[in-house]
Chains A and B, each alone.
Chain A
Amino acid sequence: MLIFALYKAVPPDIAKVGTVGGILKREEAQLVINPHDVQAIEAADYMRRLAGGKVISLSMGPHQRVIPIANTLYDYEVWGVDEAYILSDRRMAGADTRATAYTLSLGIKKIIEIHEEAVSKLIGAIEENKDIGEVMKLAEELYNKNLIPNKIYNDKPPLKRYSLLERFVNREISREDLLNKLREHRESLRKDLILFLGMKAVDGETGNTGPQLSQALSEALKIPVAHATYVTNFSYDPDKKLVRVRRRIGRVIQEIEMDLPVLLTMRPEYEAPSIPLRRGRDVLLENYKGKVRDIKILNADDIKADLRAIGLVGSPTQVGPTIEVKKTIIKRILGRSIRILKDVEKIKIGDKEFGPYKKDEIITDPDKDLVKELVEKGFAKIYDYDDLADEIINILSRRERG
C-alpha cells in the first residue's frame, strides 16, 4: 500500500530565531516542519507497521529549503519515511489552499502512475513472452528502485519463495495467474491508498488543505476519497480494507468506517499505539525493498498541471490590502474624560480654540483649561461612575444590537 505523509515547511517562530548578531529575517530563516504534521508522519509510520507498504513523504515548496526537512523524515520514529518527493516550481508559488490541493493531488497521482507504469512494464514483458531471465532482470531492477513490493519480487529467503515471480518460476502458479495478480496489484495502487496530514499549518491556520485535497484527489484519481478531519485515533482492518475513526462533531461522537482510499488529518494529541500489530509475513510481503534516500523533485510539467490552476493565478482567493487592527473608539476615561451637558458654540481660551460641542458628546482627553472652563460654567461634567452606570443600563436595556 502507498501511504502518503504530507507536510508543509513553515518559518520557525520568529521569536525563537535569535542569533548572536540579532534576529534573522523571516525570509532568511531556515524552514521547519509544520509542528502539526509530525502527527501525520507518526500516523503513516503506524499504518505501515499495520498494513505494510511504504511511506512516501510529500511537500510543496522551494526544494532547496524543503530538502533539509525531507532528509530528517527518513529517520523519524519508528521507521521513518521510505521515500521523499517535493513539488517545487516557481509557478506553484503564491497558491491558496485550493491551488495547493490541486497541485498536491496531481503530485500524488503522478507518484501512483510511476508505480503503475513499473508494473505495466513487467506485465508487458511477460505478455510478450520474453525470456524468463530477462523478466527476472527487469523485476530485479524495478525492485531495487523500490517500485514493486516483496510480494511480486524478492531475491532473499525467507520472502523469496512467496514472491509471485519465484512461484511462477517454480511452476506453482500459471502465467495467467501471474498476469492476473500483477494486474490486480496495479489496480490496487490508486485504491488501496491512505494519506495523512496535520490538522492545520501554523502559518496559514486554515485547516482547509485536508478536506480540499480529498476532493481534488477524488477528481484527479476518479475515485471518491473519503476523509475525516481532527482525528485522535484510528484503526485499520486489513481484511476489509477499511479505516475506522471515532471523532467528535459538535456534541456528537461519530464512529465511522471508510473504505480506502482515505485521507485523515491528525490532531496534535494523536499518539500512535506503541505496540505494532504483527501480521507477520503478510505485512512483510506488502513492503518494498527499503529506503530511497535520493529525494525526487517534481515540477509543474512533470505532474502535467494546468498552469492556470496552480500558484497565485490558480487561486480563487486573493489577499487584499492588510490593515492594522485599530478601531476608532471614543474612550471614556473615568475621572478624566468629560461629558458635554449642553450644546457649546466655538470657544476661545487664551489663544486656543475649541468646539463646537454637542450635548452628550464625550471628550476623551480634554485640555485642562477647557475642562475648567466648561465644568465651572456647567456645560460639562467629569465622566464618573454615575455616567458609567447610566451607560451600562442604557446599553443593556437596548433590545438588540445595531
Chain B
Amino acid sequence: MSGSSLESRLLPATPDLESYKDAWGFIEYIEGELFEISLETLGAANKVARKAGMKVGAVILGHKIPEEILRELIYRGADYVIYADHPELEHYNPIAYTEVLYQMIERYRPWALFFMADDLGRDLGPKVAYRATTGMAADCIDFDVEDFEFKLAGKTYKNLLAQIRPAAIWIAKIFTPRHRPQISGVRPGYFKPPPRDPNRRGDIIRFDPLIPEEAKRFRVVKVEKLPEEKDPLRDAELIVSLGMGITRRPGGEPDPVKAFEMAKELAEYIAKKLGVKTALGASRALIHAELKELEGKITHDMQVGQTGKAVSPKIYIAAGISGAIQHKVGMQSSENIIAINIDPNAPIFEIATHIINEDLYTAIPKIIEALKKRLGE
C-alpha cells in the first residue's frame, strides 16, 4: 500500500507540518513569582534548537509581569519571549491557560514545546497537547534530533524531536512524527538553564489572548505562599553523598559522625577554595536507618534518588553507596561520578566515572590531602 493510503487510516496529521519552527520552553510565573525550576525548559529547548537550526522561544503567562522578568528570559537563553498579560491569567487556571497557549501555538507554530514535569506542568501540558491535537511525552530526561521510521505510515520522518524517557534499565525514545508541536515534559534536575548572559538581546512579543468565558468555571479563591525552600542539592556543582557504607568498616571501627564530618570538610573545602556551590546528600537507606548519632545531620531533604531528589551536578561523590537502581535514577545524569566503595562489585561502579575501591574512611582524607597540596589549607 502506498504511503498516502496508509496515512489515511491514521489520526489526521497537523496541516502544514513543515511550517512549524522553533523550540519553546513554558516558563512558570505564578502569583507574581518566576518559578526558577522552569528555566530548565530553556535548557532543553536550547539543546534541540541548536541541533535543528532553530530558535528558542520562552512563553510566559500572567498578570502584570515585570519587564525585568521578560528580559531575564532572554538573558537565560531565549532568543525571543512571547508573553500574555491579562487579569484572568493572574492565577493558574488550566482552562484559561490551555486556551491561551493554544492560541499562541496556532499563531506562531512552534516545532517543540517543553513543560516542566512539576505540579503545574503535569497539570497543564497534557491538556494543551490534547487541545492542539498532538502528543505529550511525559517525564523526559533527554532530547535529541533524529529520524524515525514510522511503519504504520510507511514513511521515515526526518529531524524529529527524540523524547527520551526512562523505564527501569531501558530508555524509550518517543516520537511525535505527524503532529506539532511535539510536546514534552522535562523532568526536573536533568537540564541546566543556559548561563545568564546580560548582553544577550532578543524580541519581547506581547500576545493579546482571548480568554473564554468558560474559564470562570474554575476559580482560585485563595492563595497561600509557602516559605522559600532552600534546596542546596539542586544548585550544587559538587555533591558528596553518604550511604550505609559509613556504618560498616572491615578494617576498623565505623564512626558515622566522623564519616559525616569528613564528607562535610571535603564539600566545604571545595566550596571555599573553588568558589562553587557544594552540598551533602544521602542515600535512602542511610536516611531510613535514622542513626541516632547523625540526628539533625542527615535529614530527609538530603535524600537523592527515585523517592528523593534527582540531581545532576558536575561531580557527584558517592561514598559508601552501593548504587541501588532507585538511587541511580536520581543521580546518573551527573557529569562525573566518583564512587568510593570497599565492595569491588558495588553496582555504583557500573555508572561511575571514577572508581575508588577503598575504605571511605581512608579515601576521603586522601582526596582532601591531594586537593590541599594544590590549593593550600
Contact B314 A395 (CB under 8 A): yes
Contact B173 A254 (CB under 8 A): no
**B122–A249 contact, CB under 8 A?**
no
Q: Complex Cα distance A332/B353, Å?
A: 6
Q: Across the interface, which residues of A come within 8 angstroms of B94, CB to CB?
A: 211, 214, 226-228
Using CB atoms, name the residue of chain B closest to A210.
B126
- Tell me, in angstroms, the Cα distance from A230 to B122 when the chains sit together: 10
Contact B336 A334 (CB under 8 A): no
| Contact yes or no, B127 A325, CB < 8 A | no
Q: Which A residues between 316 and 352 are near B, CB-CB below 8 angstroms?
A: 316-325, 327, 329-335
Interface 1/0 per residue, B336-377 and A, CB below 8 Å: 101000000000000111111110000000110111011100
Residue of A210, A309, A334, A393 with most partner-chain B CB within 10 A: A334
- In this assembly, does B250 line the interface, its C-beta being within 8 Å of a C-beta of chain A? no
Is B174 within 8 A of A319, CB to CB? yes
Residues of A within 8 Å of B, CB-based: how many? 74
* Residues of A contacting B214 in the complex (Cβ-Cβ under 8 angstroms): 224
A140 to B30, CA, bound (A): 54
Cβ contact within 8 Å between A385 and B369 = yes
Q: Residues of A contacting B375 with CB < 8 Å?
A: 393
Q: CB within 8 Å of B: which of A359-400?
A: 385-386, 388-393, 395-400
Instruction: Enumerate chain A residues within 8 angstroms of B353, measured Cβ to Cβ.
Output: 329-332
Q: Mark B164-204, 1 if CB is under 8 A from A, else 0.
A: 00110111111111110000000000001001000000000
Residues of A within 8 A of B162 (CB): 320
Q: For chain A residues 256-314, which have a beta carbon within 8 Å of chain B?
A: 256-259, 307-309, 312-314
Bound CA span A379–B146, Å: 42
User: Is A96 close to B, CB under 8 A?
Assistant: yes
Main secondary structure of the interface of B (DSSP, over half): mixed
Asked if residues B127 and A250 are in contact (CB atoms below 8 Å), the reply is no
Classify the secondary structure of A's interface with B.
mixed
Among A48-56, A62-70, A200-208, the one that faces the other chain is A200-208
Q: Which residue of B lies closest to A260 (CB)?
A: B217
Total A-B pairs, Cβ < 8 A: 248
The chain A residue with its CB closest to the CB of B333 is A327
Interface contact A256-B218, CB-CB below 8 Å: yes
Q: Could you tell me the distance in whole angstroms from the C-beta of B334 to the nearest C-beta in chain A?
A: 11
* Assembly CA distance A276 to B355 (angstroms): 59
Q: Are A254 and B91 CB-contacts (below 8 A) given A318-B150, A395-B315?
A: yes
Shortest distance between the CB of B35 and any CB in chain A (Å):
5
Residue of B with least CB distance to A204? B138
Write out, one digit per residue, whether chain B residues 90-102 have a CB within 8 A of any chain A CB (1) or not (0). Answer: 0110110010000
Establish whether residues A389 and B119, one from each chain, have CB atoms under 8 Å apart when the complex forms.
no
> Could you tell me the distance in whole angstroms from the C-beta of B75 to the nearest C-beta in chain A?
14
Interface pair A386/B373, CB less than 8 Å apart: yes
* Alpha-carbon distance A320/B373, docked complex (angstroms): 50
Can you pick out 30 interface pairs between chain A and chain B where the beta carbons lie within 8 Å of each other?
A97-B138, A206-B136, A208-B138, A211-B94, A211-B130, A212-B129, A229-B123, A250-B28, A250-B118, A252-B31, A256-B219, A257-B221, A259-B217, A308-B9, A313-B9, A314-B10, A317-B175, A318-B150, A319-B174, A319-B175, A321-B173, A323-B171, A323-B173, A324-B171, A334-B358, A385-B366, A385-B369, A388-B356, A393-B375, A398-B314
The 9 A-B residue pairs with the shortest CB-CB distance in the complex, in nearest-first order:
A316-B135, A317-B135, A389-B370, A206-B138, A320-B173, A215-B130, A208-B126, A255-B222, A211-B126
